[in-house]
Structures are given as C-alpha cells and as structure tokens.
Amino acid sequence: MNGPPPNSRVTFLPTNRQVLVAAGTTIIRAAREAGLHINASCGGIGVCGKCRVRVEQGSVAGGISERLTPAEQELGIRQACTAQVSGDVTIRIENAGGLRDGRLESGVPERHRARMQAFDLGELREEGGFTCPVAKFYLELPHPDQGDRQADAGRLLRTLAEQHGERQVMISFAVLQQLPRIMREDDFRVTVTLERPVSRRFRTRLLHIQPGNRAARNYGIAVDIGTTTIYAQLIDKQSGRVLAERGDYNRQLSFGEDVISRILVAEQPGGLRLMHALAAESINGLIEAMLEEEHLDRDEITSITLAGNTTMTHLFLELEPRNIRRSPYVPVSTMFPPVRAADMDLRLSDRCMAFFYPAVSSYVGGDIVAGVMSSGMYRTDKLSLFIDIGTNAEIVVGNREWLACAACSAGPAFEGGGILHGMRAGEGAIDDFSLDPVTLEPMIMTINARPAVGICGSGLLIIIAALFECGVIDESGRYLHGLDTDRVRPGGSGWEYVLVRAEEAGIGRDIVLTEVDIDNFIRAKGAIYAGVTTLLREVGHAVGDLEQVILAGAFGSFLDLDSAMTVGLLPEIEAANCLYLGNGSLMGCRMSELSNRIRRDVARTARRMTSIELSEVPAYKDQYMASLFLPHTDGSLFPKAAERRRLTIDRRSAPFRSSRTR
C-alpha cells in the first residue's frame, strides 16, 4: 500500500514542468503526473514505439528496444513507456501531441488525487489516548507474610491499583488457576495482560499472567474483511508501529463476488459454517505469514480488531445473514461483543481477544464506521462527505455534531462489471489514460505495464472524463459523429472509441469503450451523486456546503478527482479539501488496537450515525434522474468542469490544429 517515497525530480521540456516521483516510475507515468500527454497506444509496453522521449540530463533505466537505432540510443532517445526514473532527470518530449509550444498546458491537467490521510500516532500519544484496549503491565508484588495474608488474587489486584491505577479488574478462572505458580516463578514479579472495557463503567478483565517482565512484548492485529480482499496488519502495541502488512483474496470469493451471493450460500445447510471457515482460513493465512515474517510467537498477539461490511461481519461471526437481503433488511446485530479469537477459529492464543467494529445497518457496516474513525470526520468541525465506492457505495455526511449515512447500489461498473471490456484492477488493466485533444490519440497506461486486456474502474472514469472533456462524447454519453479520427466508429453496441487496437492489445482484438458501457457508467455515478445530494438534503444541506471530501476504499485510492468532478461522480470541491484514506477500515482497526479512547469513540460514533434508506426518500429518484447526465442536468453545479471542457474543445478548433503530426 505504501510504495517508495517520491523523491526523484523529473523535468519535462519544452514545457519545463516538473514532478516528483518515486524511483522506478516509468517516464510515461511521470509525464501523466505532470499533466503531459505522450501518444502511447499500446498501453506502455513498448510495442507501438510511439512514445519516444529524449533524456537531456541525468539518466533513466531501460526504455531501449530494437525499435530504437543505436544512433538514437546514443542521442538519449528512449521509449517513455518502459524507461524508469532512477534519479533526477530532464526529459524532452519529442512528439508531445498537441502540446507543442506549451500553449495547451491546461489541456491535460495534472492528476489530482486526494492527499493521503495518515493516522497520527504522535498526536494520540500527546493527547494521552495511546492506551491499548489490551495492555500489559509489569508488577512487583509484595511477598505474603504474617502481616499480609491477602490471597494471591487480591494481592495482584491491590498491586495493580497501587502501581498502575488499574481498578475494577476481574480475573478469569483460567488465570486464577495459574496464579499461585506464576506469581512464585520469578519471585512475585509478573506481567499481566488486561482487557479494558469499551466503557469506563464496566470492568477490566485480567486475561493473562506471565512470570517476570514481558510488558514490552505486546502485539496486535488489524484486519479488514473485504468482500473481495482481506487485509491484515501486525502491530507493535508498544510503539504503535505496523510491523507487517498482508492482503489476500477472501476465500469466500469462489462462492460469489458480491455479498448477496455469499448470503445465498450461507442460507444453504452448512453454508454459514463454510463462509465462516473460509473467512477464518483467509485471516489465519495472513496472520501466519506475518508472524513468520516477524519471527513472532502467536502467544504474543494479545488482541485482534476486525472490520468488514455487515454481511462479511455476520458471515465471519456465524450470524445468520438471511434478513440482510430481505426487506426490511434487518441484520442480527450491529454491535458485537468482544470474544476470544480462538472461539472464532482464529489460530491465536486462548487469551487473545477479538474486537469487531460495530455496524450501523445492513448496508453501512463496520468497515465504514472504521473509515469514519480513521478519517477523523467524527471529530472535525468541517462538514464532511465520506464516500466508499464499490458495487455498493456507502456515503456518510456530517461532522463532530452529527453523522448521517446511506448506502446506494451503484452497480458493478466501478469494478468492471457491465462494461464490455471492463475488468478488476489486475495486470493489463488500463488504469490511466489521456487524450490528445487535437488528434484524439490516446495515451494508455496499464497496470504493471502489461499488454492491455481491459479497463478497470479508475481507468474507466478517466477515459470517460477525457472523452467528455475533449468533446468526443456529449452530455448524455453519446459519441459525436464526424470527428476527425478513426478511433470513434460505429460498433456492435452503438458507437465506440477504440482504446487499443487488436495488434497492440493483449486479447487479440480491439479494446473499445461502447455507448452501452458509458450508459452503465453514468447510471452508476448518477446513483452515487444522487445518494450524496439526497443524504445532504435530508439533513438540510447542499453539496455547496461541503468543506471536505474523504475517499475510502481501493477505488478511492486511484480516483482522479478532476475526472470524478468532470463526469459528476463527486461534487466539485478543491483538491486540497479531498482526503484519500487508503484502507480506512484497516486503519480504523489499527487505531482501535492502539487506543481504548478511540474504541470508546467508535461505539459512540456508530450509535450517532443515523442511517437513511435512500429508496424511501421520494426525492432520491428525482436526484437520480437529474444525475444521469455528464456531469449533471444542472450544469451550474460543476462550473470548473464546464470551464475545463470549454477550453479543451476550443483547442480543437484553434488554428494550429493543422499542425497535428499524426
């Protein structure tokens, strides 16, 4: 999730634009970062040979093929799609599409990704909130003698209160049974593990006792149970640091991609048990790998915090999910008590506690609550929009005073579903794109620079935004006919744009974007935007009141903000006011592992989140209908996008249009 730091400076000539990127970044990606277009129609795999650039200062790694003559190589000519940044470098873009003489700088905007929200451990420590829900304490107990005959247990509790101020502690039988032996093993020096209650009103539990001082070895695990992927982190609870991080497909995936199909499986005899076992197996695999990597004993893991959507949580906890998919959509529970991890078939010690993020409703789950926690929106004054886009988009609006949430079914377009060449964000998926506004030639980038095989969600957004901004499609998502390019053509499902020609594609046929694809995309983004506006209206606000947008989930991390605002997926807001959370669910789990105050806030926050069922708000349908345009029926909501589009289209009609080289 965290790549190497962006510390190589790439200067592009003739525009003189500069960009900081990480070593290993391809020149074509760096150019795109800088807002520069380089024709590259093969997806950046070196076969089209169109993306030649010249290294003028410094050097790059790779970028050489038989398509370059030795003389060209000598001159510093490289293929931008395969040349990698290895330090500060100055690059001249030889054939920079419509960018010659730098007049079109604003035509290919920089990618505005939301800035990353990081969990500020230092702040928590300063505020005194760094008190793990499961913590260890070293104690030196007074020896029993004739003047002090207190029982072992009482002696321990008294000393805990005296030396650490921990009171109202309850000892389990498992611990009582070991107590006399362990207390005497290292001469009444012991380390105890305490589970703090989520509410100060309740009791702390003494989970474990060990001889000697082992307080420094206290580890926890954070787990985000995604429908598709499960991520886990191994946390040093002493320092707060993440020691290891792993992700793996949710093994339930072979029984269906979405929550509904999993619920259907769970409704079969033995199905719930199976879904539970598969999730547990996935998590155990991740834990195993991390423990091995860090050479940790599983007994040193004292707690694990998990979050997932309501269905994932129900399946993992073996709670009947059947009513989640049946009107009126009632989950078994939204709050989940702490439980021994081993009781949930996690291969951890008998003492290890498992905590679960509470949910709000059947379709706003613990992952969203965790995201809201890690975003900090539950304690900000700013009116914030939190949005996690997937098949279902979860939306939260509010601030420290109030929170309202809703889920809307966006359909699978953002995950590649319902799109002719749509696919998940895997190798060969087109994930970035730019369009020469003059020639309408594409710059295609694929994941891992493999031959293009399809379009992933974030690529789809960028492509449609670019096509719209360059006037290739109109407000209703129809291709304009008569444009001076053979890439726009009639196809099997209405008109289409050829992104990659068969000879350069990894699938042996043209990769195209059809009008049906665009329709599906518009319905998806329309559902989300309508969800946002409806939710805001329900609480007496409008999109213009938003002071902050927080993007969560895998899709959010690749979301180009300008594209999202161009198509009307997100309301227009300054990029500076957009935050990208990364895996907010996982971050929320980590925060809870480290801070019982946060865990307390979690419970309060989940209770505060008012769930609104969009399908029951009459205005939602109207909002949805109004959103089925690019960017929206009411164009005045997206003034900047309109301005960008006007400027871009203007370019095509400008005098130098004839100067196109290809």
List the x/- string, 610-639, binding to a copy of itself by CB under 8 A: -x-x--x-----------------------
Q: Does 180 bind a copy of itself (CB under 8 A)?
A: yes
Those residues whose C-beta lies under 8 Å from the C-beta of residue 293, and which sit 6 or more positions away, are 234, 244
Chosen residue from 11, 117, 137, 152 binding a copy of itself by CB under 8 A = 152
Nearest-10 crossing angle of helices 366-375, 584-594: 70
The window from 220-228, 300-308, 329-337, 479-487 that contacts a copy of itself (CB under 8 A) reads 329-337
Query: Which residue, 153 or 253, is less far from a copy of itself as judged by CB?
Result: 153
Q: From the CB of 410, what's the least distance to a copy of itself, in Å?
A: 21
CB count, 10 Å around CB of 398? 26
Query: Which residue, 315 or 464, is less far from a copy of itself as judged by CB?
Result: 315
Chosen residue from 18, 73, 150, 163 binding a copy of itself by CB under 8 A = 150
The window from 115-123, 324-332, 372-380, 450-458 that contacts a copy of itself (CB under 8 A) reads 324-332
185: left (phi over 0), alpha (psi -120 to 50) or beta: alpha
List the x/- string, 279-318, binding to a copy of itself by CB under 8 A: --------------------------------------xx
Q: Are 188 and 144 in contact (CB under 8 A)?
A: no
Q: From the CB of 144, what's the least distance to a copy of itself, in Å?
A: 5
Nearest-10 crossing angle of helices 259-266, 271-294: 120
Chosen residue from 1, 116, 118, 151 binding a copy of itself by CB under 8 A = 151
Q: Does 149 bind a copy of itself (CB under 8 A)?
A: yes
Those residues whose C-beta lies under 8 Å from the C-beta of residue 392, and which sit 6 or more positions away, are 259, 309, 363, 407, 408, 409, 410
SS3 458: helix
Q: Are 104 and 645 in contact (CB under 8 A)?
A: no
List the x/- string, 499-538, binding to a copy of itself by CB under 8 A: ----------------------------------------
Q: From the CB of 537, what's the least distance to a copy of itself, in Å?
A: 20
List the x/- string, 185-224, binding to a copy of itself by CB under 8 A: ----------------xxx---------------------
Q: Does 319 bind a copy of itself (CB under 8 A)?
A: yes
Q: Using CA atoms, how far apart are residues 605 and 599, in angstroms rounded to an integer?
A: 10
Question: Please, which of residues 572-611 interact with a copy of itself by CB under 8 A?
Answer: 611
Q: From the CB of 258, what's the least distance to a copy of itself, in Å?
A: 21
Chosen residue from 172, 493, 633, 661 binding a copy of itself by CB under 8 A = 172
DSSP state of 614: G
Q: Does 142 bind a copy of itself (CB under 8 A)?
A: no
Query: Which residue, 141 or 425, is less far from a copy of itself as judged by CB?
Result: 141
The window from 84-92, 124-132, 140-148, 239-247 that contacts a copy of itself (CB under 8 A) reads 140-148
Q: Does 166 bind a copy of itself (CB under 8 A)?
A: no
- The residue behind tokens 């005497």 is 184
- The residue behind tokens 């599906």 is 520
Between the alpha carbon of residue 449 and those of residues 238, 440, 526, the distances in Å are: 40, 22, 31
Chosen residue from 327, 636, 653, 658 binding a copy of itself by CB under 8 A = 327
Q: Does 177 bind a copy of itself (CB under 8 A)?
A: yes
Retrieve residue 432's tokens.
Answer: 């970035």
Q: From the CB of 345, what's the least distance to a copy of itself, in Å?
A: 12
- Looking at the chain, how many residues does it have? 662
Q: Does 322 bind a copy of itself (CB under 8 A)?
A: yes
Q: Using CA atoms, how far apart are residues 641 and 239, in angstroms rounded to an integer?
A: 45
Query: Which residue, 140 or 643, is less far from a copy of itself as judged by CB?
Result: 140
Query: Which residue, 401 or 616, is less far from a copy of itself as judged by CB?
Result: 616
State phi, psi for 176 to the nearest 5 degrees: -55, -40
Query: Which residue, 317 or 438, is less far from a copy of itself as judged by CB?
Result: 317
Between the alpha carbon of residue 646 and those of residues 468, 637, 642, 643, the distances in Å are: 11, 15, 6, 5
Task: Name the amino acid, one letter, at 98.
Answer: G
Q: Does 269 bind a copy of itself (CB under 8 A)?
A: no
* Core vs surface per residue 530-561: b (16+ CB within 10 A) or e: bbbbbbbebeebebeebebbbbbbbbbbbbbb
Q: From the CB of 275, what's the least distance to a copy of itself, in Å?
A: 13
Between the alpha carbon of residue 381 and those of residues 143, 347, 400, 406, the distances in Å are: 53, 42, 6, 21
SS3 10: strand
Chosen residue from 88, 257, 320, 345 binding a copy of itself by CB under 8 A = 320
The window from 17-25, 93-101, 149-157, 521-529 that contacts a copy of itself (CB under 8 A) reads 149-157
List the x/- string, 99-138, binding to a copy of itself by CB under 8 A: ----------------------------------------
Candidates 363, 409, 360, 401; CA nearest to 382 is 401
Q: Does 179 bind a copy of itself (CB under 8 A)?
A: yes
Q: What angle do CA 88, 93, 95 make, to 5 degrees?
A: 165
List the x/- string, 332-361, binding to a copy of itself by CB under 8 A: xxxxxx-x---x---------------x-x
Those residues whose C-beta lies under 8 Å from the C-beta of residue 162, and which sit 6 or more positions away, are none
Q: Are 99 and 178 in contact (CB under 8 A)?
A: no
Query: Which residue, 486 or 616, is less far from a copy of itself as judged by CB?
Result: 616
Size of the site for a copy of itself (CB under 8 A): 49
Q: From the CB of 226, what's the least distance to a copy of itself, in Å?
A: 22
Element of type H or E holding 442: strand 442-446
Q: Using CA atoms, how far apart are residues 239 and 580, in angstroms rounded to an integer?
A: 25
Q: From the CB of 202, what's the least distance to a copy of itself, in Å?
A: 6
Q: What is the 3-state secondary structure (H, E, C) of 394-411?
A: EEEEECCCCEEEEEEECC
Q: Are 117 and 376 in contact (CB under 8 A)?
A: yes
The window from 141-149, 238-246, 407-415, 642-650 that contacts a copy of itself (CB under 8 A) reads 141-149
Q: Are 307 and 589 in contact (CB under 8 A)?
A: yes
Retrieve residue 130's tokens.
Answer: 């760094």
Q: Are 366 and 355 in contact (CB under 8 A)?
A: no
Q: Does 61 bind a copy of itself (CB under 8 A)?
A: no
Residues that bind a copy of itself (CB under 8 A): 144-146, 148-155, 168, 170-173, 176-177, 179-181, 201-203, 317-320, 322-323, 327-337, 339, 343, 359, 361-362, 611, 613, 616
